Chains A and B, each alone.
Chain A
């Protein structure tokens, strides 16, 4: 007895170390061997580890179904009936047509599987694995299978439950392929994040009795886009109305200089009789100031400048629209990666 405990203890210590760096298939093979030698605790741990792999490292559907059947039998042998039923239900979701080999598994395990099959919803979902698609061009396909012909609706949902796009509504006879083109309802690729393909029954009697979810991780690679040009700054725009301050600033020096010319002889040479020629110069300077005042066209609209500014803004808008369109095209052409995880069946009514 002490020797057996020592072996078990060593096994418990060694198995995790060995499991590190092993593939899901290696762990499945070890789990099956552990089941064969009735090492159920270690076997259950190994099988769960094998089933925990995600993405490209995950077990293929047929292997996953095999692992779940062994897990069902192992848990049953450990007197963990609920865990065994849970494993059997997962198996039915992956492959509702799975038939356990009665030469390999004991009658109790097969009976438990049949019981789960009788009580479980009869629909399953299967994805091929990680898929890269061009939104709107390619499609990500999943296969829905059912042993009966339930009416279902299948939709891509966001993490908050919001429907991104409805993929299918109707009956599932034997199996159908449902495709998602990677676009949402408005025709745009959704942002990276966690989504799911959610399948629910729609017939009156079975509505809300179960929900089948295929979790998806959507990854959009960074697309090299052109930054949008900034709006034309005020310094590039011309005044659209003549300005009063500028006009007054022009008038003032002209009038002051004109007045100075008229007054200067009295300041510089008082008592002299200055010539009237200064009035010509003073008048000219004053008229020039008034002309400069009017040249600023105070208060008036300047159609030439308005047209210039409008043209400048339109060019900018055209540039922005053009770059936005090209950026959208680049984003649209970029492939998105869809990584499906293990499907989850929620059946509130199931035992």
Chain B
């Protein structure tokens, strides 16, 4: 932990020496939550809105994402609706122009009439990008796996993994980009399993990494 703190203290110096770039954007996503608490199974869907910010230097990248929304069961079902809040804070390193490696925490919390539930993971990630039309259109694939995690309440260790892939396209001659993405995440704990699928549309200002 001390080493991590020391590293974080040293980060501003190299960042200051390099030209920083910022991007930020908003996202709307249709999420599908498949929730299993043995032996029960619930399927909920709903809209989640959020935002993200990215700061880039030559090699180092930082990413923050936050979103919240509401998911419900199918009409007429007795499934209890949930509020969702999710977020992540990642630090990345551009190992290659097309490959970025990430590490950092991510969390998802559900609030419902039945109580709260929170999934928390320290994860490692890799993002690969490929250019279709340079400066105008690109694709990306991101894979992650948890390094450690837990779910509460009650407190239990958890593991998870996920993926996201999609298409980013520059809108006209402006600095605005649109992103269409599909993501899927799956968290496991004793007698619990949560799988969240999402199709998202994002509007981002500034070049994506």
Contacts and interface: CB of A to CB of B under 8 A. Distances in A.
Given A269-B186, A289-B139, A275 B197 contact: yes
Nearest to B162: A268
Contact of A278 (B130, B182, B195): B182
B185 A281 contact: no
A253 B185 contact: no
A81 B195 CA distance: 128
Interface of B: 30, 32, 34, 129-133, 137-141, 161-163, 165-167, 169, 180-182, 184-186, 195, 197, 199
B163 A267 contact: yes
B199 A285 contact: no
B167 A269 contact: no
Contacts, number: 93
Nearest to A246: B134
Contacts of B30: 277
A252 B130 contact: yes
* The 8 A-B residue pairs with the shortest CB-CB distance in the complex, in nearest-first order: A253-B130, A292-B132, A257-B139, A269-B186, A281-B182, A264-B163, A269-B195, A285-B167
Nearest to A251: B132
A250 B133 CA distance: 7
A295 interface: yes
Contact of A250 (B131, B140, B166, B184): B131
A261 B166 CA distance: 8
Interface of A: 249-250, 252-254, 256-257, 260-261, 264-265, 267-269, 272-275, 277-278, 280-282, 284-285, 288-289, 291-292, 295
Nearest to A295: B133
Given A264-B165, A288-B167, A256 B184 contact: no
Main secondary structure of the interface of B (DSSP, over half): strand
A282 B184 contact: no
A34 B48 CA distance: 124
B161 to A, nearest CB: 5
Contact of B133 (A264, A269, A280, A292): A292
A253 B141 CA distance: 10
Given A254-B139, A257-B139, A268-B161, A277 B132 contact: no
A281 B133 CA distance: 18
A253 B182 contact: no
A257 B184 contact: no
B165 A260 contact: yes
A274 B185 CA distance: 11
A280 B32 CA distance: 15
A19 B164 CA distance: 103
A285 B133 CA distance: 13
Contacts of A277: 30, 32, 182, 197, 199
Given A253-B131, A268-B185, A285 B34 contact: no
Contacts of B167: 254, 257, 281, 284-285, 288
A280 B132 contact: no
Nearest to B140: A257
B184 A264 contact: yes
B32 A268 contact: no
Given A284-B167, A292-B132, A274 B184 contact: yes
A261 B165 contact: yes
Contacts of B161: 268
